[in-house]
Amino acid sequence: MGPTILAIESSCDETSASVISNGKVLNNIIASQNVHHKYGGVVPELASRAHQRKIIDVVDEAMTSAGVKPTNLDAVAFTRGPGLMGALLVGGSFAKGLAWAAGLPLIDVDHMQAHILAHFIDDPVPSFPFLCLTVSGGHTQLVVVRDYLDMEIIGETQDDAAGEAFDKAAKIMGLPYPGGPLIDRYAREGNPDRFRFPDTDMPGLDFSFSGIKTAFLYFIRDHVAADPAFVERNLPDICASLQAKLIRMLLDRLEQASRQTGIREIALAGGVSANSGLREALRERAAKQGWNIFVPELAYCTDNAAMIAMAAHFKFLNGQFAPADIAPVPNLHFATHHE
Ligand code: KG4
Ligand code: ZN
């Protein structure tokens, strides 16, 4: 019988808890924070206060619905980073307190590694080595995954993350945070070939989204100067065109990485992998390239504790526990970047 572990995620704006037993995720309780919408982004201090308000109920619900008590647990896991310091501190301190009180070992989990390990929650699972494109609100990475806990970043964004590009473009158009899901929704009704945006790619396997963001800002500004109702009148076409451009930038790099590494086992992870256009475009590209693709269930794309629990399971089996005085690391890096 494998271990039973309580996992807590609090790196950004979701307070989440999950119980995993013998490698099977029993639940995934998520309380989303609605306090950030009107600010156009996550406000760190509001995030940590919301985590504090919610964490007891979220953990209690996970433990109760799994039918476990602290005495049934073998370990308590938490997200160490990357994330917002104040937000990480809430989940980390709670996990440490519980582990200390119940005499349980602690397991620290890297949030980005956990996004990738979410692929092992349900079948079908990718086989090693696979290539993972992780696209979230804070990161955009191409990762060669050799084993559960053996990963190498071969490309990453040098400025904005893919999710940030979606969210900032949405903000420029006056849409609330997080804008990614809204752009996705409007894009479904729009024409992706209506507007063209310039190529602002980096050489090699790295990404850059700041150029496209600036180009988009000027595009909207110039059109609105000529027609104040430009955005309202053309929202689906603008969203479809921008989304298609961002997807091409992501998949072109992924294709290049697949060619360079010879790996055709391809996975998608992180919040932006919930994007319906990206999922569809990946399927089309996979058919052309002969890729075997893995796209997580929607509940495991955006932030959740089930993925932290899955990662903790593998760390437990590997004997990788955290010291009692472990501290959060807002810019934690799970793997070394290629030179
Ligand atoms: O992984 P995640 O939940 O949190 C981080 O670790 O950052 O990713 C959040 C990001 C946000 O930028 C959000 O706009 C984006 O994922 N996102 C989407 C969609 N759903 C979430 N972007 C595009 N289309 C979506 N459907
Ligand atoms: Zn995330």
Taking only the tens place, the pLDDT of each residue in 261-308 is 999 999 999 999 999 999 999 999 999 999 999 999 999 999 999 999
In a domain, 257, yes or no: yes
| pLDDT of 39 higher than 90 | no
Same-domain status, 287 and 271: yes
Residue 134 in domain = yes
Token duo for residue 278: 């990206």
Mutational test site, ligand 1, from 42, 167, 282, 302, max ligand atoms within 8 Å of CB: 302
Query: What is the rounded average pLDDT for all residues in the chain?
Result: 96
**How far is Cα 226 from Cα 179, in angstroms, rounded to an integer?**
25
Residue 338 belongs to a domain = no
Distance of CA 187 to the CA centre of its chain: 21
Structural domain count, the chain: 2
pLDDT above 50 (res 339): no
Chain position carrying tokens 């055709």: 264
Q: Is the pLDDT of residue 146 over 70?
A: yes
Q: Higher confidence at residue 22 or residue 335? A: 22
User: Is the domain of 90 the same as that of 197?
Assistant: no
At residue 315's C-alpha, the angle toward residues 51 and 113, to 5°, is: 60
- Crossing angle of helices 230-261 and 162-172, in 10° steps, is 170
Query: For residue range 112-133, what is the model confidence (pLDDT) as tens digits?
Result: 999 999 999 999 999 999 999 9
Do both 258 and 185 map to the same domain? yes
Same domain, 205 and 286: yes
In this structure, the number of other CB atoms found within 10 A of the CB of residue 189 comes to 11
pLDDT above 90 (res 188): yes
- The answer to whether 305 and 16 have CB atoms below 8 angstroms apart is yes
Burial of 242 (0-12, 13-18, 19+ CB in 10 A): buried
Together in a domain, 104 and 161: no
Domain for residue 267, yes or no?
yes
* Position 40 pLDDT exceeds 80: no
> Which residues span the domain enclosing 20?
4-117+300-317
pTM of this prediction exceeds 0.75: yes
Q: Which residue has the higher pLDDT, 257 or 34?
A: 257
Q: Within this chain, do residues 224 and 311 fall inside the same structural domain, yes or no?
A: no
| pLDDT for the residue numbered 285 | 98
Torsion angles phi and psi, residue 61, rounded to 5? -65, -40
- Asked whether residue 234 falls in the same domain as residue 310, the answer is no
The answer to the question of residue 335 being in a domain is: no
Residue 185 lies in a domain: yes
Q: Is residue 39 domain-shared with residue 98, that is, in the same domain?
A: yes
pLDDT at 142 over 70: yes
What pLDDT is recorded for position 257?
A: 98
Which residue puts its alpha carbon closest to atom 1 of ligand 1? 271
Taking the C-alpha atoms of residue 220 and residue 61, their distance in angstroms, rounded to an integer, is: 45
The residue to mutate among 136, 239, 278, 295, having the most atoms of ligand 1 within 8 angstroms of its beta carbon, is: 136
From 253, 282, 291, 305, select the one nearest 115 (Cα to Cα): 305
The verdict on 105 and 230 lying in the same domain is no
- Tokens encoding 300: 């495991």
Q: Is the CB–ligand 1 distance for residue 303 below 6 Å?
A: yes
The amino acid that residue 205 corresponds to is L
Position 13 scores a pLDDT of 92
Is the bond preceding 236 in cis, omega lying within 30 degrees of 0?
Answer: no
Q: How confident is the model at residue 153 (pLDDT cuts 50, 70, 90)?
A: very high
Q: Is residue 326 part of a domain?
A: no
Together in a domain, 32 and 71: yes
- Amino acid letter, 119: H
Name residue, tokens 């956990």. 114
- CATH code, domain carrying 269: 3.30.420.40
